[in-house]
Chain A
Amino acid sequence: DADVTQTPRNRITKTGKRIMLECSQTKGHDRMYWYRQDPGLGLRLIYYSFDVKDINKGEISDGYSVSRQAQAKFSLSLESAIPNQTALYFCATSAGQGQYFGPGTRLTVL
């Protein structure tokens, strides 16, 4: 079984809809991250969490929110999706040196 899982893997939604992307990990890591990937821009950090009570904004947090439900679960929400949030979203975990990534969620906002 994969160490970091993301659901859904693909999602198409409409402008203005609320959507949640979920991430679960079995690595036992305290640190979890959400990134988005756009062609030619690499990965940009949206939010990160170092434990259940610690949530931090990343480089591009506007329009996103997160919830750390447990050590193993970290969800990303788009309260009102817009087309420029169309991207590939990755969850990652870390124990301090290097990060381990999930397979990604491809989100399309029409």
Chain B
Amino acid sequence: AQSVTQLGSHVSVSEGALVLLRCNYSSSVPPYLFWYVQYPNQGLQLLLKYTTGATLVKGINGFEAEFKKSETSFHLTKPSAHMSDAAEYFCAVSEAGSARQLTFGSGTQLTVLP
């Protein structure tokens, strides 16, 4: 069984400040890990994914995440927040190889303050 915990349902940062959204996962098998973003009244858009290889992965819009197996974490970061980053962010996990199902976290709403 797999699960995802996103710490903080709401995060606020000032424009230009570091964005850090936390994600911890539980999986009995090697995982694939994903971050999705949802803008208001829209579907989910894939930001980035970790499958194999380099543990630091870069995504769209300047976001990146690092897979840390020892900490079972996959935190999402961006060095400098922009107003357009305000959205809800979801971390998700699936089993490596089969990727049959995604298990989602409950989401983190990011607010960017001017």
**Residue positions of A touching B, CB distance < 8 A:** 4, 40-45, 48, 50, 58, 90, 92, 94, 96-104
Contact = CB atoms under 8 A, between A and B. Distances in A.
Q: What DSSP secondary structure best describes chain B's contact surface?
A: loop
A101 B44 contact: yes
12 contacts: A40-B9, A42-B105, A43-B104, A44-B104, A48-B100, A48-B101, A90-B43, A97-B32, A97-B49, A98-B99, A101-B36, A104-B42
A104 B90 contact: no
Nearest to B42: A103
A41 B101 contact: no
Contacts of A104: 42-43
Contact of B46 (A40, A48, A100): A100
Interface of B: 9, 32, 34, 36, 42-46, 49, 51, 90, 99-102, 104-107
Given A42-B90, A42-B105, A42-B107, A101 B45 contact: yes
B106 A42 contact: yes
A41 to B, nearest CB: 6
Contacts of A41: 106
B106 A98 contact: no
Nearest to A31: B100
Closest 10 pairs between A and B when the two form their complex, measured CB to CB: A101-B43, A42-B104, A42-B106, A101-B44, A43-B104, A103-B43, A98-B46, A96-B99, A98-B49, A42-B107
Given A40-B9, A90-B43, A104-B43, A99 B49 contact: no
Given A41-B106, A42-B106, 9 more contacts: A44-B104, A50-B100, A58-B101, A90-B43, A92-B44, A94-B99, A97-B51, A98-B99, A103-B42
Contacts of B43: 4, 90, 101-104
B60 to A, nearest CB: 12
